[in-house]
Chain A
Amino acid sequence: MIKQFGRFAALRGVDAKFEAGRLYVILGDNGAGKTTLLRALAGLAQPTKGKISILGKSPEQACREIGYMAHPSLLYDEMSGMENLRYFARLYDIPGDRRCQEVIRAVKLDPELRRQVGQYSHGMRQRMSLARAILHDPGILLLDEPFSNVDVDSAGEMVGLLTSMRNDGKTIFVVTHQAALLEGSADEFVRMQAGKIVDRTSRLGRELPGASTQ
C-alpha cells in the first residue's frame, strides 16, 4: 500500500499481513507513517495505491469490527463522558445506558461524573477516549498513542485492560513511543521507518525506539 499526500508519500509500500487475536505494537520515529497506517486501517485515509482487507472486507465495510482511538480525544468537550458515550452508542445502535456504564467502569472512570470532558485531565480524557473506542465491542482495536500524558499507574491499568481484551480474542494495534509499557503483553513489535515496515519481532530489542521509555 502507498499513501501520498500531494507529492509527499507517508506510506511507501507497506505490505503486511496481521493475524487475529494478537497485540501489535507499532513503533517508529515521528513521520515514520504510524498514524497514517492506523488511519488507513480505520478507513479514514484511502490508499493511493494498493488495498486493505480486514476480515475479507474493506475498512468501510468492516467498520462495526473496528474501534479507533486517535491522538485527539474524538469527544465533545462540552458534554460529560456519559453524554458523549450515549450519543456514540446511538451511532452503533446500542440501546440503553448499560454498555456505556460498563465501558466507563472498565477504563476506571465514574459513569456518574457530571463534569464536562473539556474539564477532564489529559489522562482522564485518554481513558474516556478508549472507552469510546471499545463501546461497540469491536474485534479490532486501533489505538494511536493511548498512553501519552497518562500517569504510570493509569497506563498500567490501560495495559491490563488491553491485555485482557487480547486474551479474549481481540486484535489490537497500538502506536506508541512508550513500547516498554507493553513489553510483557505485546505479541509483536512492528517497526516503521520512512513509510515502510522495516522490522517485525516478538521481543522488544533495546535498540528499538521507545524500548527504554518507562
Chain B
Amino acid sequence: MSSLRSITLATLAKDIRLEWGSKDALNSMLFFSLLVVVIFSFSFDPNAEESRQIAGGLIWVAFLFAAVVALNQTWSRELRNQVLDAYRVSPAPANALFLAKALGNFLLVSILEGLMAPLFIIFYNLRALGPAWQLMPVALLGTWALVVNGTFFAAVSLRTRSREIMLPLLLFPISIPAVQSMVEATRIILAGDGSARFWIVLLLTYDVVFTTACLALFETVLQAE
C-alpha cells in the first residue's frame, strides 16, 4: 500500500512538473472552453430564467469536450521514446500509474472549472435559486466521473491508429449516465427546482462502480501489446 501511494505521488508529481513546463493540456482546454462560453452566449442570448435551465448542460458539455483534449495528451508523453515500457518492466503496480494519471487529469480539469466558472456566471448572468453549496459535490463527483473513465479509455485507445477519434467514441456513450446526473443536478440547484439529492447519489454510485472497474481492468490494458 505504501508503494502504491509513493509511486502514485511520484508519478503525479512528475506529470504535474511536465505539464507545468509545457502547459500544453491546460492551454488547449482553456482556449476551447473560452470559445464555447463566448460563442454560445452570443448565439443564444438567454434571459436569467432560461440561463438557469440550459447552463447545466452547457457547462458540463463544454467541460466534457475540453477534458477530452487533456485526456488525449495524458498518455502521449508515455509513448514518446516508449517510456511506458520502462514502467511496464518495473515492479511498480499498474494501478499507481492509473491513479496518478486520473488524479493529474482531475487536477487539470478542476483548475479549468475554477477558471471558467466565473466566466459562465458573468456571461449567463447565473444566480443559484437552490442551495449553491451543492454545486461543489456535483462538480467534484462529476469531474471524477469524466476523468476516471477518460483516463481509462485514453489508455485503451493508446495503441490504436486514430486514438483522438477513438477516445470520444468510447468515452461519450459510457459517460451518458454521469453527464445526465451532472446536468440535472446543476439545473435543479440553479433553478431551485426541488432536491438534487437523487442525482448526486447516482453520480456517487457511478464514480464508485467505474473507479472500481477501471482499477480492476487497468493492468490488463497496460500489459496489452
Contacts and interface: CB of A to CB of B under 8 A. Distances in A.
Interface of A: 42-46, 63-64, 66, 68, 70, 72-79, 87-88, 90-93, 132
Interface string B12-55: 00100110011000000000000000000000000000000000
Q: Which of A42, A43, A87, A93 is most buried by chain B, counting CB atoms within 10 A of its CB? A: A87
A70 B84 CA distance: 12
A76 B83 contact: yes
Interface of B: 3, 6-7, 10-11, 14, 17-18, 21-22, 77, 80-83, 85-92, 223, 225
Contacts of B81: 72-77
A75 B83 contact: yes
A77 B80 contact: yes
Contact of A90 (B7, B82, B85, B89): B7
Contact of A78 (B22, B85, B90, B91): B22
B155 to A, nearest CB: 16
| Interface of B, helix, strand, loop or mixed by DSSP | helix
A93 B3 contact: yes
Interface centre among B11, B77, B82, B89, by most chain A C-beta atoms within 10 angstroms, is B89
A70 B85 contact: yes
A42 to B, nearest CB: 5
B90 A63 contact: yes
Contact of B6 (A46, A64, A90): A90
Contacts of A75: 81, 83, 86
Given A46-B225, A76-B18, A79-B18, A91 B85 contact: no
Contacts of B10: 87, 90-91
A68 B85 contact: yes
Nearest to B97: A91
Contacts of B92: 91-92
A66 B86 CA distance: 11
B89 A42 contact: yes
A78 B17 CA distance: 10
Contacts of B90: 63, 88, 91-92
A143 B1 CA distance: 32
A63 B91 contact: yes
A42 B88 CA distance: 9
A64 to B, nearest CB: 5
Nearest to A132: B86
Contact of A44 (B3, B17, B18, B88): B88
A73 B88 CA distance: 14
Contact of A74 (B21, B77, B83): B83
A78 B21 contact: yes
B83 A44 contact: no
B138 to A, nearest CB: 35
